[in-house]
Amino acid sequence: MTCTACESARTNRFCGMYRADCLECSARALSHSPAYHAAATANVLTAAYWDALQAVFGEGWKQGHAQVKRWAEMREGAKP
């Protein structure tokens, strides 16, 4: 499922819209978080990032982690 906020974020990396009922928005928000940044830098699932994945995605954390990584890659690959 996609929402208007995610569609806007796909074309504008500075989009600040998020929907509380959208898991993609939650994944996008996590991709901007200090917890994700620390985990990505260390190349491990840190406790803080693991807790965030569990809080948002529960048993679907692996799929959620993949979504977070996709959003981070889109942001990092974008030109300013």
27, exposed or middle or buried, with CB in 10 Å at 0-12, 13-18, 19+? buried
Of the CA atoms within 13 Å of residue 39, those in its CB half-sphere come to 21
Q: What is the mean pLDDT of the chain?
A: 90
Predicted local confidence at residue 12, as pLDDT: 86
pLDDT tens digit sequence for 6-19: 999 988 878 889 99
pTM above 0.85, yes or no: yes
